[in-house]
């Protein structure tokens, strides 16, 4: 898959572009690695640190709460100290916090360390696609920005493999969490060799430096046009309060709905708690971690499928098909835990249901949410709009992940998965009625779909008088 991005960079005559995408997208890898690694580590953390169900949820949720704070801070930091230095600091903090997690001696210490880790993850996850987009030629911007999503699922897979490989090692969970320091350090060091964002430079009057940065990633004949575009967008950039204006308000509702539904269909209960869910059906910790690798591979493969086909079959097709598929998988998972007969005779059904669920998410809500919120908003409001949607996404990520074990204890496994399934059905109805197709369409056409109103067109010819 990386060959696709290398080819795109070579077509532009700028192989340095690939280095920019890889180093910057390590922010996505950090997010993916920590998302995946805690799922296996938690099985060993709980008995060693005597963590209750609430403390286990807090260990998972602390990172997400920190990520909300990181996402809120990231916009300010990216403007105040630059995208580049924000990512350098983010990588450094991640490396230190990963080591702090590894050396934690109590659940409280681990929760605090993971909160700091979350600040780094939230910042990197927001700034990474922004930085890549601002350094990429518009012809291949979509492909290079999607590399960040690919790195997220790659990070999840690497985490599952690390969990599997280290499960028999002494202090295994400490090694699992501590290994995160390696990509964190790679991000911090790698970003030192990267240029500043040309947009950030231009906004500070450093136009010659901005031009030099563009010359490293753009064809010579495109540099003047890109500089003009940067200045034009900067002069028209809106603020948060402008998001409440019509018709942007209607598009914000769609963006927020995509952000929230992506989480409340239960995706991160699967990512964070997959081994725990598999252990519910009688699997040992070791076996559950091994089976989780299949989930990680499925996530990566179907994300690649989505990236390759989203511009051919459209966003709505994958959004609707994927959400319908995961709703069915949740229904099957709930039925599995309801029936002891199924658990005895078809013990592998829970793994199959989880694999189908993750495949459907990987082609649908996973990539489509991030892609569509970059397409439905006017360019001058895209930054603040995406920030609002990102904060909402992280907030509901925290809410769902922090309540999963409590929900299972309160209403049972079957009711929990069926509840997520009902939410998925509601999401399908909303998507079918309210979410427009954005592939190959102008912003005006998208606005007409979202608001249900067509813009008035000025008359181009005088009325003819009839006698």
Output the pLDDT for position 314: 83
Are 384 and 447 in a shared domain?
Answer: yes
217 and 14 in contact (C-beta within 8 Å)? Answer: yes
Output the pLDDT for position 466: 41
Report CA-CA distances (Å) from 211 to 198, 228, 433.
7, 11, 44
Q: Report yes or no on 30 lying in a domain.
A: yes
Output the pLDDT for position 370: 79
Q: Report yes or no on 112 lying in a domain.
A: yes
Weakly modelled stretches of the chain, pLDDT under 50: 455-467
73 and 201 in contact (C-beta within 8 Å)? Answer: no
- CATH number of the CATH domain containing 109: 1.20.1250.20
Q: Report yes or no on 442 lying in a domain.
A: yes
Output the pLDDT for position 174: 96
Output the pLDDT for position 461: 43
Are 30 and 120 in a shared domain?
Answer: yes
Residue 364: is it exposed, middle or buried by C-beta count within 10 angstroms (0-12/13-18/19+)?
buried
Comparing CA positions, the residue from 100, 84, 339, 322 lying closest to residue 213 is 84
Comparing CA positions, the residue from 316, 173, 191 lying closest to residue 258 is 316
Q: Which two tokens stand for residue 188?
A: 């911090």
Output the pLDDT for position 35: 81
Are 342 and 280 in a shared domain?
Answer: yes
Domains identified in the chain, total number: 2
Are 409 and 261 in a shared domain?
Answer: yes
| pLDDT tens profile 337-378 | 898 888 778 878 888 999 999 999 999 998 888 778 877 777
Burial 397-407 (b: 16+ CB within 10 A, else e): bbbbbbebbeb
Q: Which two tokens stand for residue 373?
A: 């919120």
Distance from C-alpha of 298 to C-alpha of 354, rounded to nearest angstrom? 10
Comparing CA positions, the residue from 412, 276, 407 lying closest to residue 335 is 412
Output the pLDDT for position 273: 83
Are 28 and 117 in a shared domain?
Answer: yes
Are 171 and 88 in a shared domain?
Answer: yes
Q: Report yes or no on 224 lying in a domain.
A: no
Number of neighbouring beta carbons within 10 Å of residue 412: 14
Tell me which residue range forms the domain holding 376: 242-452
Comparing CA positions, the residue from 291, 368, 379, 289 lying closest to residue 326 is 368
Q: How far is CA 44 from the centre of its chain?
A: 27
Output the pLDDT for position 414: 94
Are 175 and 279 in a shared domain?
Answer: no
Are 338 and 397 in a shared domain?
Answer: yes
Q: Report yes or no on 6 lying in a domain.
A: yes
Output the pLDDT for position 224: 86
Angle at CA of residue 69, ends 193 and 129, nearest 5°:
40
DSSP 347: T
Q: Report yes or no on 248 lying in a domain.
A: yes
ω before 382 within 30° of 0 (cis)?
no
Output the pLDDT for position 68: 87
Within 49-82, residue ranges assigned H as helices are: 53-80
Q: Report yes or no on 147 lying in a domain.
A: yes
Distance from C-alpha of 195 to C-alpha of 198, rounded to nearest angstrom? 8
Output the pLDDT for position 245: 67
Are 306 and 176 in a shared domain?
Answer: no
Domain boundary among 158, 177, 194: 194
Domain boundary among 179, 194, 209: 194
Distance from C-alpha of 101 to C-alpha of 175, rounded to nearest angstrom? 10
45 and 174 in contact (C-beta within 8 Å)? Answer: no
Output the pLDDT for position 40: 86
Are 62 and 171 in a shared domain?
Answer: yes
Comparing CA positions, the residue from 322, 324, 346 lying closest to residue 336 is 346
Comparing CA positions, the residue from 191, 321, 334 lying closest to residue 266 is 334
Are 27 and 97 in a shared domain?
Answer: yes
Q: Which two tokens stand for residue 306?
A: 């989505």
Distance from C-alpha of 434 to C-alpha of 237, rounded to nearest angstrom? 26
Q: Report yes or no on 174 lying in a domain.
A: yes
Are 251 and 315 in a shared domain?
Answer: yes
Output the pLDDT for position 324: 97
């Amino acid at each position: 898959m990386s060959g696709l991005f290398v080819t795109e960079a070579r077509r532009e005559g700028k192989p340095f572009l690939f280095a920019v995408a890889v180093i910057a997208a390590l922010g996505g890898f950090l997010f993916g690695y920590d998302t995946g690694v805690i799922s296996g580590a938690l099985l060993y953390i709980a008995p060693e640190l005597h963590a209750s169900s609430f403390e286990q949820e807090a260990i998972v949720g602390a990172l997400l709460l920190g990520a909300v704070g990181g996402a809120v801070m990231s916009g300010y930091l990216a403007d105040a100290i630059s995208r580049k230095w924000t990512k350098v600091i983010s990588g450094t903090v991640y490396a230190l916090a990963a080591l702090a997690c590894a050396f934690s001696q109590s659940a409280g210490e681990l929760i605090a360390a993971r909160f700091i880790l979350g600040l780094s993850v939230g910042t990197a996850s927001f700034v990474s696609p922004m930085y890549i987009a601002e350094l990429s030629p518009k012809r291949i911007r979509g492909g290079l920005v999607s590399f960040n999503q690919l790195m997220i699922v790659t990070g999840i897979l690497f985490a599952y493999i690390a969990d599997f490989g280290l499960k028999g090692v002494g202090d295994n969970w400490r090694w699992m969490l501590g290994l995160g320091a390696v990509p964190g350090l790679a991000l911090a060091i790698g970003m030192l060799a990267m240029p500043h964002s040309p947009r950030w430079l231009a906004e500070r009057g450093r136009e010659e430096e901005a031009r030099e940065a563009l010359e490293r990633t753009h064809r010579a004949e495109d540099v003047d046009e890109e500089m003009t575009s940067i200045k034009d967008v900067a002069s028209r950039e809106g603020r948060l309060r402008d998001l409440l204006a019509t018709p942007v308000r209607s598009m914000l509702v769609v963006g927020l709905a995509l952000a929230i539904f992506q989480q409340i269909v239960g995706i991160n209960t699967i990512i964070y708690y997959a081994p725990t869910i598999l252990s519910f059906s009688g699997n040992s910790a070791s076996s559950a971690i091994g089976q989780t690798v299949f989930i990680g591979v499925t996530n990566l493969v179907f994300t690649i499928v989505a990236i390759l086909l989203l511009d051919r079959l459209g966003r709505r097709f994958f959004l609707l098909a994927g959400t319908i598929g995961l709703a069915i998988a949740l229904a099957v998972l709930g039925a599995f835990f309801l029936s002891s007969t199924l658990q005895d005779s078809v013990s592998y059904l829970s793994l199959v249901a989880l694999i189908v669920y993750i495949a459907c998410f990987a082609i649908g809500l996973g990539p489509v949410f991030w892609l569509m919120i970059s397409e439905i908003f006017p360019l001058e409001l895209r930054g603040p709009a995406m920030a609002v949607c990102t904060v909402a996404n992280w907030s509901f990520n925290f809410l769902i992940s922090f309540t999963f074990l409590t929900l299972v204890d309160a209403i049972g496994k079957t009711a929990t998965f069926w509840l997520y399934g009902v939410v998925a059905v509601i999401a399908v109805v909303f998507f079918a009625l309210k979410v427009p197709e954005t592939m190959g369409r102008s912003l005006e056409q998208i606005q007409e779909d979202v608001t249900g109103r067509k813009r008035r067109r000025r008359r181009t010819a005088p009325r003819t008088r009839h006698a």
